[in-house]
Homo-oligomer: A and B are copies of this chain.
Amino acid sequence: MVTRLPGDNLRTAQEGLTACFQGWSGSDFDPALCPVRGVLDRLGDKWTTLIVIALAAGPRRFSALRREIPDISKRMLAQTLRDLERDGLISREVFPTKPPSVEYRLTGLGESLLEPLNALIAWAQASQPDIAAARHAYDAAAAVEG
> A interface vs B, CB < 8 Å?
1, 9-10, 12-14, 16-18, 20-21, 25, 27, 31, 35-41, 43-46, 49-50, 53-54, 56-57, 67-71, 85-89, 109, 111-125, 127-128, 130-131, 133-135, 137-139
Distance to closest chain B CB from A6 (angstroms): 12
List the B residue with the shortest CB-CB distance to A18: B57
Residues in B with CB closer than 8 Å to A35 are 124-125, 128
A13 and B53 contacting across the interface, CB-CB below 8 Å: no
Q: How many copies does the complex hold?
A: 2
Complex interface: chain B residues within 8 A of A127 (CB): 39, 109, 112-113
Instruction: Find out whether the CB atom of A109 lies under 8 angstroms from the CB atom of B121.
Output: no
The verdict on A133 contacting B88 (CB below 8 Å), with A12-B118, A13-B115 known, is yes
Q: A14-B56, A14-B114, A86-B135 are in contact. Are A46 and B41 (CB under 8 A)?
A: yes
